[in-house]
Amino acid sequence: MDSRPAPQPVGLSDVMSDVKRNPGRCVGFSWFVTIIFVLAMVVVSIVTASKNSQSEAIGGDAAAFTALWVLLVLLLVGVTGTVILRKYHTPLAVGLLLGLTSMLSQLLFVLFAVFLALGQESGTHQDSDHAMAAFMFILFFLFLLFSIVLAKFRMTVIET
């Protein structure tokens, strides 16, 4: 027989108390989750660019360029953010990361609307455009959440 107590469900109050005890961990975890989705976006962007560049529809080449451009921007922000969070904890670097993630969040929301419209208008590459729109919305939300968390705990990041 197992003498260990049954695990208790984790409540919101437990999560909030853990965040208050270790805010740096919350910043790191939110960045880690965001980077996981950025890496998934690499595949989606490449597939979308491939499908749109082969399309004869109007705007297909522009959508392919946009998919690759967003991919490069996401990778650059991902590398920059990781370097800042690991090595450079100066107020300037943290402010730069906060500005980058806030602006990128807004850009992803606008591009979400663009790719959603492209997916509804086009006949040949709807699935890839809808996947791109879905990932852009998820990343919009994650970068917005990270920006809020970083703004809330920026002094903790600077002091560590």
pLDDT digits (tens, 9 = 90+) for 49-99: 888 777 666 667 888 888 899 999 999 999 999 999 899 889 999 999 999
Question: What is the pLDDT, as a whole number, of residue 54?
Answer: 74
Question: How far is it, in rounded angstroms, from Cα 133 to Cα 108?
Answer: 9
Structural domain boundaries in the chain: 23-159
Fill in the DSSP letter of residue 101.
H
Per-residue pLDDT tens over the stretch 138-157: 999 999 999 999 998 888 88
Is residue 126 very low, low, confident or very high in pLDDT (cuts 50, 70, 90)? confident
Return all residues near 98 (Cβ < 8 A) that are at least 6 apart.
Answer: 147, 150, 151, 154
The Cα 41–Cα 91 span in angstroms is 30
b (16+ CB within 10 A) / e for 55-80: beeeebeebbebbbebbeebeebbeb
81 and 100 Cβ atoms separated by less than 8 Å = yes
pLDDT of residue 63: 82
The answer to whether residues 69 and 49 touch, using CB atoms and an 8 Å cutoff, is: no
**Which is nearest to 135 in space by CA: 109, 96, 104?**
109
3-state helix vs strand vs coil in the chain, percent to 5: 80, 0, 20
pLDDT score of 154:
84
**pLDDT for 18:** 62
Torsion angle of C-alpha atoms 37, 41, 43, 47, degrees rounded to 10: 150
Residue-wise pLDDT for 11-25, tens only, equals 656 556 666 667 778
In the DSSP assignment, the letter for residue 19 is H
Nearest CA to 65 out of 80, 77, 53 is that of 53
